[in-house]
Amino acid sequence: MNKILRELHNNQIIDKSVFWHLHSTSSSLSVLYGQPKVHKTGYPLRPIISTIVSYNYSLSKYLAKLISNHRTETPPSYIKGSFELVKKQKTITIKTTTIMVSFDVESLYTNVPVKEAIELALDIIYKRPNKPDKLLTRKQTQQLLHHAVCDVSFRFMDKTYIQKDGVAMGNAIAPILADLFMIKMEEKLNRFTKNRPKIWLRYVDNVFCIFDIEEKHIKIFLQRINMWHNNLKFTSEFEEDATLPFLGVLIKKENNSLITSVYRLIKKLTIRIQRICSNETIAKAEKRKLDEILKNNGYPAHIIRRGIKAGEAIAKRLQQPQPKEPTVEKQKIFFTIPYFGQESIVFASRVRRICDKMLSHIHLNIAYKKQGTLKQNFLPTQKGRDESKSNKELIYHIPCQNCEKIYIGETGRSRETRITEHLKAIKKKDTNSEIVKHVLNTNHTMNFNKTTALAKETNWKRRIIKESLVTFESKDKAVTEVKHKLQVFG
């Protein structure tokens, strides 16, 4: 992959910044783990491959953006989620004989034929009239797509595997390739002269349909769509008692229209109830059910009342936006605090009031961060330990062999890779390097054998701050300057 990227850079097809952004250095293997599908019997696991810091992570994101920029049309079947589903259903009229059915594609991502999906993506880029003047050739893009999604290696616990077909949930380009494949399959709906659904609305691998035919003909339709492709298998769920759950919404036939409410098994909060329910009568009934469910699960009554009241207020503001009055533009500051329930909300409110009084030119945005979640506790165990990461994302220092000076730096790559880069810089006498400046000015030698890791930090911004703090504490000993000037330095 790096070889192809270097050729593209040498031929001036991609610039230097794109090359270094996509170039892979000291990458780690992707990691397979599972997320339980709590809404299904037996809690089957949804396989997800985390590609963060893998060799093709940046490339996948780059190609996903490239394809998205060339998708000018939204297919009529596409819906963004439950709120758009509700909006579209308000315009649908039905008959007394109408039947509602939902179809689900079994394991869509892992069954996407990768080579076919890549060709569909290439057609989007190169067969449309909006092709830009300067672009990668089709063959070059095909090579990059191959490296992004084909024969991807990943780790499960302490063993390494290769994904031979399908796309991985967790890869940035996977949703687009899966969607393009489904759109291509949906074109076959035009071949139906009879037994065709009146409404076909799709969200990823879930399809909501309305038929004006008998149930036996719908089953024939299911058999036919299961012949669209060897990798595709649709399962169906028919309405019961004139109701059908879909995307967390309970859809019900009433007279000649569809009404919607929250699907109570998913236990959505008040805002969702207010926004989805067709009228206030249904919303009140759902809130009573929510109240009952929460009480049965041990929630205190005053917490339930407070949450419902706050949810109603927020939903009202969302549904009836107030006209904005002209205000003086304030400097926005974002601040994150741990979430410990009502105490965190009260604390945030007090901080905002103090800032409004003392710092009127600042608009403080406070966000809450979850602490001690099941994911935080169990996901590291699921993913297993990657020993190669213990030597990456470090703040480190290198002492001088001839004086007390030290070089302090940070790297997202491995310590060995960074030391090699320093040695190359000294050999080339690269004066952009602080180590090289010290070596040339003093004729000293850096003791790379005594390179020490001072701290480990996965977040780049935090790593820079930690490096700055360590550099500042070292004062006259450090040959490097403080990168990030903090107010705590004075």
Distance CA 70, CA 141 (A): 14
Distance CA 304, CA 298 (A): 10
CATH of 1-238, one of 3.30.1330.60, 3.90.1850.10, 3.40.190.290, 3.30.56.10: 3.90.1850.10
Single out the residue of 490, 488, 480, 489 nearest to residue 395, CA to CA. 480
Domain 392-474 has CATH 3.40.1440: yes
User: Which pLDDT value is given to residue 20?
Assistant: 85
- DSSP characters over 31-61: EEEEEE-TTSTT--EEEEEE-TTSTTHHHHH
Decide if 1-238 and 392-474 have a common fold: no
Burial of 92 (0-12, 13-18, 19+ CB in 10 A): middle
Burial of 246 (0-12, 13-18, 19+ CB in 10 A): buried
User: Which pLDDT value is given to residue 129?
Assistant: 64
Answer yes or no: are the C-beta atoms of 102 and 236 closer than 8 Å. Answer: yes
- DSSP characters over 310-335: HHHHHHHHHHSPPPPPP----EEEEE
Q: Looking at the predicted structure, is the pLDDT value of residue 200 above 70?
A: yes
Answer yes or no: are the C-beta atoms of 289 and 247 closer than 8 Å. Answer: no
Query: Domain coordinates of the chain in residue numbers?
Result: 1-238, 265-319, 331-375, 392-474
Answer yes or no: are the C-beta atoms of 176 and 167 closer than 8 Å. Answer: no
Distance CA 46, CA 169 (A): 9
Q: How confident is the model at residue 486 (pLDDT cuts 50, 70, 90)?
A: low
Q: How confident is the model at residue 89 (pLDDT cuts 50, 70, 90)?
A: confident
DSSP state of 340: -
Alpha-helical (H) ranges within 191-253 are 215-225
Give tens-digit pLDDT for 415-449.
Answer: 888 899 999 999 989 888 889 999 999 999 999 99
- Give the predicted TM-score (pTM) of the model: 0.67
Half-sphere exposure at residue 286, Cβ-oriented, CA atoms within 13 angstroms: 28
Distance CA 267, CA 290 (A): 7
Q: Looking at the predicted structure, is the pLDDT value of residue 387 above 80?
A: no
User: Which pLDDT value is given to residue 117?
Assistant: 92
Single out the residue of 322, 317, 323 nearest to residue 275, CA to CA. 317
Q: How confident is the model at residue 267 (pLDDT cuts 50, 70, 90)?
A: very low
Answer yes or no: are the C-beta atoms of 121 and 180 closer than 8 Å. Answer: yes
Tokens standing for residue 371: 């602490």
Question: Quick one: which H or E segment has residue 457?
Answer: none
Q: Where are the beta strands (DSSP E) in 265-405?
A: 331-338, 362-369, 392-399
Answer yes or no: are the C-beta atoms of 97 and 215 closer than 8 Å. Answer: no
Tokens standing for residue 435: 């180590």
